[in-house]
Each structure stands twice: as structure tokens, then as C-alpha cells.
């Protein structure tokens, strides 16, 4: 979500004569696009801002701004606490950025964090930047109405709105005409796409439509809430040839008691039924997930239920988080008497289990020849390219730049923790 917002920010700033540089030291304008999902991310914002202060001391004309979820939450207060900050823009106000920057150029500080109404937000959706990427995100909905008890997102991103399916399809057709080969449909909870709009397609129907776009090779989506995952959507993984065989399906916990306290709207058994459905329509599918450790009142039995879930599903990868109280959320009011040592110890047990399972899964790719969509030159250098397998796993291999944008057969010769090394066949 933040990557997409950052792209939009770049496009808007290019419109008023700015261009990107690769270091804050060289910039006339520095913007931080922020995340407040956990306390650590939030604290980092202040750390980063601190690093820009000496630059501003040397060059007072440097403009510094903050956007995204922390900006939404803190608003004008940030201008008070950070005296060298020039502008603050909230999650619904990216379009106001050019105006704020022009004001700051005239030494006027400003903050805009209003939430907008549905109609205005729908009108702001279209995003037609021209980039030569092979793969792009396409936002299909924004906001979240789920109010999981630990989560700040509904408060900082606002209510759900879904973009008209015709507009989404037209955007994807336009991207494909520019050379894009893969799109990832993006939303806080894509499964509730269209449900609140009269006569709109369901998310499964939208996938069907996008799958038919000529010239598109691959289709992905993120993120899916298990409670809204319909059989129709599960069946897409058996039916749609462009849909990649990977799904990110955050489970958060394997304990029914904790899931209830989290307000997730499903039980462990419900979740497992959906996973079985996915594996039966698409036996090669690989799942990834998000898990929170140390939710208030989590007992050893609750935690063991999470470990059991990880064993049963066999995730290819998991993003594991220590619970972080977010003020204003329901969970922040719950009594939390677990020691941080205990939480950390559980966190490490979970990571050890997941690392073992993930390693077993990724090792299955060794010596196999897999189709890889080539995205660009690898960060590794040495004439290496990088691309991804259907499971969203990065593969680095030596090849000519002309291959960028093509799907090529690559033999996996080495499996690392987060990527594979391959040889072009």
C-alpha cells in the first residue's frame, strides 16, 4: 500500500518540477511515507527525521515532509514536536501534496489530514503513471471496516471503498499496452471488494475479468481476509490460468479464544477448511501468512495452537510480529500480564518452527526448472537478472537484459533463505 502511495507521490511531484535523487543529502525535498501498524515502525519515523535535521541545519531551504499513517494519526501535532518539519499530509490527502510543497517553498508550514467522503475518494483513485516496470500494483479498494481489535489501520486509512471494476480493467489494459506483464490487485481486504457497491462484481468475478486481459501473463492479489474468502474465490486457483499459485492468508493466531479476542471472525477450523479447499483445487499452491505473538492474555495453550496451525498448513513463509499495543484500538484496553521475556521466547520458538518448514518447502525447488518472469537487473550485480517464480520467490540468474519482461525457464541451483540462485536453460 505504501509503495503504491509513494509512486503516486513521485508522480505528483514530477508534475510540479521535482525529480527523484538517490540520497537525502542531494535533495531539495525529503518526504517520509510512514507506517503506524506497530510501535517500532512509528518510532523509526522520528529517528529518520532526526537524521535529516543536520542536513536542514546546513541547508535551511531543504523542505521536509511526512505522509502516511503516522501523519494521519499525529496531524498538526507533528509540526509542534518537530520544529524543522515543513509539511504533514494524511492518507486521504496525497493529492494535496503539490499545494503543500509550493506553500513550503514560500516558508509556510502546513498540515492536511482530513478524511474524505466516498465520492471524492472514488474520483481520486485513477492513477496513470508511466513506468516501464514488468510488474505493477493496481489498487482495487482502500480502507478497512474489519476493526480487528489490535489494528490501527481502520483508524488511519478510513472506511472501505471499492473502485469500479470497469476502471480497474481499463487501467490494467493500459498497463499491459505499456509492457506490464504481471499485476497485483491491492487492497486492505480484497475479499470484500465490491460487496458494498450496488451491482458491482465480486472479487472472484473481478479476477475472472482481469484473467481475460490479453497480453497479461500473471495475476496476484493481496491481502485476503480468511473470513471473507468464498468458495468462488478458492475455485479461482483451480480455474484461472494467469493466477499465480501463491496466496498470502494472514492467520494471526491458531487459538479460537485469541481469534475471538482479536475479532477476526473465524475459528482455526474455519481457516483450515479454506486452506484445504485451496490445496484441493490447486495442489501446488503455497501459502504465506502473518502471525502475532503475545496478544494480551495469550496462554501457553493458545500459543501451542498457533504452532499446531503452522505445522498443519505448512506455510512457505510467515511474517511474525510481537504484539504491539496501538492506542485507540480495543486490544490496547485489555489486561496484558505476560512478561516480555516470555513473549520473546515464544516468538523465537515460532520462528524456529517456521524456518524449518519454510526451508523444507523451498528446498523442493532445488534442481527443478521453473518458469521465471524476469523483472529486471538483480541487486547482486555481476550481469545477473532477477525474476520470480509463481510462488513469488525471487530467483537471481545470469542473463541478457533483453530477457526482461519475458518468462523464461530457469534451473534452481541454490536455495537461500530469501531467494534462489538459478541458471537460465
Please, what's the b/e burial string for 105-143 (b: 16 or more CB within 10 A of its CB; e: otherwise)?
eeeebbbbbebbeeeebbebbebeeeeebbbbbbbbbbb
Q: Which one of residues 93, 113, 146, 320 is an interface residue with ligand SF4 (CB under 6 A)?
A: 146
Q: 37 or 304, CB closer to ligand 5AD?
A: 37
Q: Does 38 bind ligand SF4 (CB under 6 A)?
A: no
Alpha helix ranges (H) inside 61-215: 68-74, 77-81, 97-105, 118-124, 153-157, 165-177, 203-211
By beta carbon distance, the residue nearest ligand 5AD is 290
Kindly give, in sequence order, each residue whose CB lies less than 8 Å from that of residue 12, ignoring residues fewer than 6 positions away.
94, 95, 97, 98
* 249 is an interface residue for ligand SF4 by CB under 6 A: no
Q: Is 148 in the site for ligand SF4 (CB under 6 A)?
A: yes
Rounded least distance, CB 409 to ligand 5AD, Å: 34
Contacts of 13 (CB under 8 A, 6+ apart): 29, 97, 98, 101
Which residues lie across from 347 on neighbouring strands?
Answer: none
> Which residue carries 486457483 as its cell?
237
Q: Smallest distance from the beta carbon of 273 to ligand SF4, in angstroms? A: 19
- Please report how close the Cβ of residue 263 comes to ligand 5AD at its closest, in angstroms: 12
Contacts of residue 293, defined as CB under 8 A and 6 or more positions apart, other chains included, come to 303, 306, 320, 321, 322, 323, 343, 346, 347, 350
46 interacts with ligand 5AD by CB under 6 A: no
Q: Taking CB under 6 A as the rule, does residue 255 contact ligand 5AD? A: no
| Binding-site string for ligand SF4 from residue 170 to residue 189, where x marks contact by CB under 6 A and - marks none | ------------------xx
Helical H runs in 125-228?
153-157, 165-177, 203-211
Instruction: Tell whether residue 151 is a contact of ligand SF4 (CB under 6 A).
Output: yes
Phi–psi pair at 259, nearest 5 degrees: -60, -40
Residue nearer to ligand 5AD on the CB measure, 315 or 323: 323
Residues 6+ apart with CB under 8 A from 220: 182, 183, 184, 185, 243, 244, 246, 392
Q: Which does 146 bind (CB under 5 to 8 A by kind): ligand 5AD, ligand SF4, none?
A: ligand SF4
Q: How many residues bind ligand 5AD (CB under 6 A)?
A: 12
The interface mask with ligand 5AD, positions 321-360, x = CB under 6 A, is x-xx-x----------------------------------
Which residue's C-alpha cell is 509550493? 102
Residue 233 is a binding residue for ligand SF4 (CB under 6 A) = no
Q: Quick one: 189 or 392, whose CB is closer to ligand SF4?
A: 189
DSSP 8-class letter at 212: T
Residues that bind ligand SF4 (CB under 6 A): 144, 146-148, 151, 153-154, 188-189, 225
Residues that bind ligand 5AD (CB under 6 A): 37-38, 150-151, 250, 252, 290, 292, 321, 323-324, 326
Amino acid at each position: 500500500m505504501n509503495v503504491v502511495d509513494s509512486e503516486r507521490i513521485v508522480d505528483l511531484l514530477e508534475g510540479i518540477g521535482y525529480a527523484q535523487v538517490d540520497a537525502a543529502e542531494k535533495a531539495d525535498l525529503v518526504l517520509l511515507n510512514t507506517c503506524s501498524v506497530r510501535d517500532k515502525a512509528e518510532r523509526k519515523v522520528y529517528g529518520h527525521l532526526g537524521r535529516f535535521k543536520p542536513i536542514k541545519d546546513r541547508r535551511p531551504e531543504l523542505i521536509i515532509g511526512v505522509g502516511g499513517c503516522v501523519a494521519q494519526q499525529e496531524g498538526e501535532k507533528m509540526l509542534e514536536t518537530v520544529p524543522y518539519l515543513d509539511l504533514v499530509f494524511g492518507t486521504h490527502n496525497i493529492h494535496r501534496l503539490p499545494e503543500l510543497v509550493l506553500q513550503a517553498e514560500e516558508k509556510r508550514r502546513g498540515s492536511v489530514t482530513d478524511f474524505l467522503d466516498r465520492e471524492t475518494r472514488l474520483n481520486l483513485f485513477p492513477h496513470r503513471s508511466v513506468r516501464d516496470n514488468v510488474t505493477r500494483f493496481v489498487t482495487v479498494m482502500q480502507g478497512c471496516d474489519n476493526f480487528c481489535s489490535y489494528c490501527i489501520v481502520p483508524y488511519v486509512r478510513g472506511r472501505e471503498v471499492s473502485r469500479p471494476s470497469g476502471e480497474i480493467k481499463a487501467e490494467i489494459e493500459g498497463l499491459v499496452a505499456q509492457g506490464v506483464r504481471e499485476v497485483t490487485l491491492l487492497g486492505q481486504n480484497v475479499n470484500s471488494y465490491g460487496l458494498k457497491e450496488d451491482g458491482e462484481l465480486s472479487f472472484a468475478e473481478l479476477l475472472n475479468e482481469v484473467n481475460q486481459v490479453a497480453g497479461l501473463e500473471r495475476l496476484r492479489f493481496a491481502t485476503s481476509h480468511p473470513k471473507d474468502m468464498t468458495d468462488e474465490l478458492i475455485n479461482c486457483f483451480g480455474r484461472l490460468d494467469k493466477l499465480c499459485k501463491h496466496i498470502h492468508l494472514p492467520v494471526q493466531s491458531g487459538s479460537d479464544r485469541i481469534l475471538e479476542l482479536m475479532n477476526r471472525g473465524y475459528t482455526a477450523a474455519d481457516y483450515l477448511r479454506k486452506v484445504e479447499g485451496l490445496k484441493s483445487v490447486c495442489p501446488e499452491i503455497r501459502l504465506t501468512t502473518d502471525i502475532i505473538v503475545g496478544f494480551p492474555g495469550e496462554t501457553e495453550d493458545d500459543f501451542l495452537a498457533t504452532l499446531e496451525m503452522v505445522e498443519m498448513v505448512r506455510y512457505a513463509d510467515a511474517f511474525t510480529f510481537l504484539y504491539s499495543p496501538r492506542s485507540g484500538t480495543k486490544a490496547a484496553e485489555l489486561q496484558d500480564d505476560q512478561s516480555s521475556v516470555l513473549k520473546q521466547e515464544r516468538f523465537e520458538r515460532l520462528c524456529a518452527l517456521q524456518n524449518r518448514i519454510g526451508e523444507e518447502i523451498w528446498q523442493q525447488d532445488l534442481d527443478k526448472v521453473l518458469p521465471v518472469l524476469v523483472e529486471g537487473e538483480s541487486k547482486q550485480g555481476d550481469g545477473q537478472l532477477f525474476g520470480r517464480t509463481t510462488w513469488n520467490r525471487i530467483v537471481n540468474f545470469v542473463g541478457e537484459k533483453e530477457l526482461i519482461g519475458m518468462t523464461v525457464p530457469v534451473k534452481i541451483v541454490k536455495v537461500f533463505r530469501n531467494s534462489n540462485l538459478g541458471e537460465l536453460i
